[in-house]
Amino acid sequence: MIRLFHSPLSPFCRKVRLTLSEKRIDVDLQEEKYWEKSAEFLRRNPAGKVPVLQIDGITMSESTAICEYLDEVYPTPSLLPRDPRERYEVRRLVGWFDDTFYREVTTKILTERVIKKLVGQGYPDSRNVKEGVQKIKFHLDYMANLLDHRRWLAGDVMTLADFTAAAHLSCLDYTSDVDWNRSAVVKDWYAKIKSRPAFRNLLADQVSGFPPPPHYSDLDF
Amino acid sequence: MIRLFHSPLSPFCRKVRLTLSEKRIDVDLQEEKYWEKSAEFLRRNPAGKVPVLQIDGITMSESTAICEYLDEVYPTPSLLPRDPRERYEVRRLVGWFDDTFYREVTTKILTERVIKKLVGQGYPDSRNVKEGVQKIKFHLDYMANLLDHRRWLAGDVMTLADFTAAAHLSCLDYTSDVDWNRSAVVKDWYAKIKSRPAFRNLLADQVSGFPPPPHYSDLDF
């Protein structure tokens, strides 16, 4: 039994879910209230974070380490190219979204608007939300710059970089915080990735108290 | 010419410096005041972070992406094992230190004590320092747990996981914030890694206004 302990609006969990699904690995999804830090959960991952994946007799944590493992052991379809320079570019972008984008945008908007309420930490800090709303523009423009010259974010094939970016953006789209009219190439890229079978499961997510907007699951958004 | 734009007390830069040095790749070190965000620096890395490595005609950023590239293109000595499960464990620990440890300890202590002053952001917030000082105990105990059963953090051979952990701990040792008497196995591990030729360059670092304590560069600390 392959099992993923996850949280619906965690971009790190979504990255792993997309990777599993693209590789047609069936997984039992278990929602984890990671902020309650239950003893059993901390035993599975002392770092106290989701995702946690149980597969091949190992209990795994750290989303990028998990995705690299999945790509090595379940190589079809591959989410990392073979050439070291191209692999570097994929990993650079995974880092870009999971660190810089996450810090500047995802936490500023999503943590304030949704996570704080879910975990009972009070009201959004509007300064943070404002900063995130400002910063996402820079990131969408950066993506547009890349996509002006490339079919996918890291090059001519779809990679883990695309899934990482889409994981973050899909969470922010759930709260209507992505201006898809800012760039046609970014919107086209998201439409392509959103219509993949691997994405379906994410589009069905429902977070109690936060219904998604109608366009969230619409493939012609 | 191989050039690294770095900052002396950045654990991410130290990880790359250790990797380069272990692989005997000579590099020209260029100190970068990344917080000044000069136009030239932002052109090299729009994310505005160090390290930035110029090698093989590419300008690279994101420390883990850089280290994975170096290990693929300059494979001797290797810092990642060949078995996917062992590679996973290395990458999990790289993530552990670069994310969880960094967030809970490095930023709480080092950013407050040193970086804030360097970049002119005022005085340390003593609550943060206190939290970091508390949390580092948990992490040292976690390392001790691993090292009770393993020669190195991820298994029987030295890997990028050891360099990542040592990169963070050496920064905190610069400000005397590591209690080496807490665990004999952790102290032995650090003594082993500190005595490697690759470490020498780090032990010669001097940050203006923050002289290191005498034990910092002492191999019999």
B158 has pLDDT over 90 = yes
B17-30 confidence digits (pLDDT tens): 999 999 999 999 99
Same domain, B58 and B109: no
**Residue type for position B83:** D
A221 has pLDDT over 90 = no
Phi, psi of A103 (to 5 degrees): -70, -40
Residue B105 domain-assigned (yes or no) = yes
A77 cis-preceded (ω within 30 degrees of 0): yes
Residue B131, chain A, CB below 8 Å: the answer is: no
CB-nearest partner of A64 from B49, B84, B95? B95
Same domain, A153 and A59: no
Question: What's the pLDDT score for residue A121?
Answer: 87
Are B69 and A88 an interchain contact pair (Cβ–Cβ within 8 Å)? yes
Same domain, B18 and B101: no
pLDDT bracket for residue A15 (50, 70, 90): very high
> b/e map of B13-38 (b: 16 or more CB within 10 Å)?
bbbbbbbbbbbeeebeeeebebeeee
Question: What's the pLDDT score for residue B121?
Answer: 87
Are B88 and A58 an interchain contact pair (Cβ–Cβ within 8 Å)? yes
Residue B43 domain-assigned (yes or no) = yes
Residue B52 domain-assigned (yes or no) = yes
Please give, rounded to a whole number of angstroms, the shortest distance from the CA of B92 to a CA of chain A. Answer: 5
Side-chain half-sphere exposure of B81, counting CA atoms within 13 A: 19
CATH number of the domain that B112 lies in?
1.20.1050.10
Same domain, A24 and A99: no
Sheet with B3-6: strands ordered across = B28-31, B3-6, B52-55, B58-61
Sheet with A58-61: strands ordered across = A28-31, A3-6, A52-55, A58-61
Closest residue of B to A89, CA-based?
Answer: B65
A101 has pLDDT over 90 = yes
Question: What's the pLDDT score for residue B209?
Answer: 87
DSSP 8-state code for residue B16: H
B109 has pLDDT over 90 = yes
Same domain, A30 and A137: no
Residue B177: count other Cβ atoms within 10 Å of its Cβ.
19
Question: What's the pLDDT score for residue A120?
Answer: 86
CB-nearest partner of B91 from A49, A64, A142? A64
Same domain, A150 and A204: yes
A158 has pLDDT over 90 = yes
Residue B91, chain A, CB below 8 Å: the answer is: yes
Asked whether the beta carbons of A36 and A50 are under 8 A apart, the reply is no
B159 has pLDDT over 90 = yes
Q: Which residues of A touch B142 (CB under 8 A)?
A: 46
Q: What percent of chain B has pLDDT over 90?
A: 93
Domain extent at residue A31: 3-73
Asked whether the beta carbons of B148 and B107 are under 8 A apart, the reply is no
Q: What is the average pLDDT score of chain A?
A: 96
Give the count of domains, chain B.
2
Question: What's the pLDDT score for residue B143?
Answer: 98
Same domain, A102 and A60: no
Beta-sheet strands, E only, within chain B? 3-6, 28-31, 52-55, 58-61
Q: Which residues of A touch B47 (CB under 8 A)?
A: 96, 99-100
B221 has pLDDT over 90 = no
Same domain, A27 and A129: no
Question: What's the pLDDT score for residue A122?
Answer: 87
A178 has pLDDT over 90 = yes
CA B99 to chain centre: 12
Question: What's the pLDDT score for residue B177?
Answer: 96
Residue A109 domain-assigned (yes or no) = yes
Residue A220 domain-assigned (yes or no) = no
Question: What's the pLDDT score for residue B118?
Answer: 86
pLDDT bracket for residue B2 (50, 70, 90): very high
Question: What's the pLDDT score for residue A204?
Answer: 93
Closest residue of B to A98, CA-based?
Answer: B99
Same domain, B93 and B19: no
Are B96 and A47 an interchain contact pair (Cβ–Cβ within 8 Å)? yes
Rounded distance between C-alpha atoms, residue B111 and residue A36, angstroms: 28
Residue B167, chain A, CB below 8 Å: the answer is: no
Please give, rounded to a whole number of angstroms, the shortest distance from the CA of A175 to a CA of chain B. Answer: 25
Q: What ipTM did this prediction achieve? A: 0.97
B34-83 confidence digits (pLDDT tens): 999 999 999 999 999 999 999 999 999 999 999 999 999 999 999 999 99
Q: What is the mean pLDDT of residues A44-70?
A: 97
Residue A221 domain-assigned (yes or no) = no
Residue B39 domain-assigned (yes or no) = yes
Same domain, B61 and B129: no
Question: What's the pLDDT score for residue A220?
Answer: 86
Q: What percent of chain B has pLDDT over 70?
A: 100
